[in-house]
Amino acid sequence: MCLDAPGVWDHHFILDVQPDNGFTFQSVGQALAAVNDHPQTAMRLRNGDVISFGSAKVQFWLSDPVQQGLRMREVFFWALLALVTAGQIALVYCLAALG
C-alpha cells in the first residue's frame, strides 16, 4: 500500500503474518509509529488495533470469513448414494432371477 501523507516514510513499518504468531507489526529503522496510541517498535496485532504513523491512522481489521455453500456436494452425495443403492437392488434382482 502506498500512502502520500505528511510524516509518512516510503517504508514506515512492516506487517507480516507468521503461522505461529499471527499478524505482526514492526517499525522500520527510526520510524515512529504507535499502536492504539502507544509507541511501538514491534508487536503482535489484534483485530481492531489502530496503527498511527506520521499524520495517518490505519485500523487493522479482519473481516468475518465467508462460508462456501455445500449444496452441490450434498446433491452429489445423495445422487451417488441413490445410484449405488439402485445398482445393488438391480444386482440382487438379477441374481434372484438366475437362481
Residue 84 has pLDDT above 70, yes or no: yes
CB-based contacts of 90: which residues, under 8 Å, 6+ apart?
A: none
Q: Do 44 and 73 belong together in one domain? A: no
The rounded Cα 3 to chain-centroid distance in angstroms is 24
Q: What is the pLDDT of residues 17-29, one digit of tens each?
A: 888 888 888 888 7
Q: How far is CA 96 from CA 15, 74, 78, 89, in A?
A: 70, 33, 27, 10
What average pLDDT does range 57-61 have in this prediction? 84
- Asked whether residue 46 is domain-assigned, the answer is yes
Q: Do 17 and 50 belong together in one domain? A: yes
How many structural domains is the chain composed of?
Answer: 2
The per-residue pLDDT for 8 is: 67
> Can you give the residue range of the structural domain that contains 83?
69-99
Give 9's pLDDT tier (boundaries 50, 70, 90). low
What average pLDDT does range 15-44 have in this prediction? 83
